[in-house]
Amino acid sequence: MRINEAYEHEPLLSCTADESCQPGGCGRVGTQCVDVTAPLTLTPTTVVGTMAVSCQGTPRITCTANADGTSCTVTMTQQVCVSIPIRYGVTMTAGEPTVSCAENCVGAGCC
C-alpha cells in the first residue's frame, strides 16, 4: 500500500449559511505526507552438490622414443566428464525502515 492511500480522503467543505454546523464548531483533518524507506539486501546463494566423474571411451596412448632410443615417453589421454550439481538462489534481508516528513508538497501528486 502506498503511504498516500492511508491518508486520501474526501475534502471537507466549509459550512455555508444555509447548512447547519455543529454547535461545538466544525471539524477538520490535518494531513502530513511522509516518505518511507525500506532497505532490502539481496544476497546470492549457491549450494554445490556431490560431484560425479565418469571416464568416456578408451584412453588414447602415444609413445615417443628419445633420439638415441634409450628411453620413451608414454602419454595417456582420457576424456573425463565431470557433473557438478549447483542450486542457485537468493536470500533477502530487510533493513530497518525509516520515515521522514515530506516537505513542500503542492499539487495533484501530494496527499
pTM equals 0.44
CA distance 88 to 45: 6
Q: Evaluate whether residue 71 is within a structural domain.
A: yes
Which residue is listed with cell 444555509? 18
Q: Evaluate whether residue 17 is within a structural domain.
A: yes
Q: Evaluate whether residue 32 is within a structural domain.
A: yes
Domain encompassing residue 91: 3-101
Q: Evaluate whether residue 109 is within a structural domain.
A: no
Per-residue pLDDT of the chain (111 residues; tens, 9 = 90+): 444 444 455 555 555 554 556 677 787 888 888 899 999 999 999 999 999 999 999 999 999 999 999 999 999 999 999 999 999 999 999 999 999 988 766 655 566
Query: What is the tally of structural domains in the chain?
Result: 1
